[in-house]
Amino acid sequence: MTYHNPSTEPALERRLHRSETDTWVAGVLGGVGETYNINSTLLRVLFVASMLLPGPQILLYLAAWVIMPR
């Protein structure tokens, strides 16, 4: 297996993907973190905190799980 390092590519050429190594549920937030070089733990904390707000957070996560490639 080869490791893809998106931080060496320009931002517009990076492809969003689910992480295979940084997963808790489906690898969605880990993949966003890998793609945009953001700490995935921070993304997870922000996602859980966003659950206090009204909105379709769970539906968006499930949609990303289905749409994003592995």
Task: Give the DSSP per-residue string, 38-59.
Answer: --HHHHHHHHHHHTTSSS-HHH
pTM: 0.73
Domain boundaries, the chain: 23-70
pLDDT 10s digits, 34-69 = 999 999 999 999 999 999 999 999 999 999 999 988
**68 or 5: whose pLDDT is higher?**
68
- Ramachandran area for residue 55 (φ above 0: left; ψ -120 to 50: alpha; else beta): left
pLDDT at 13: 74
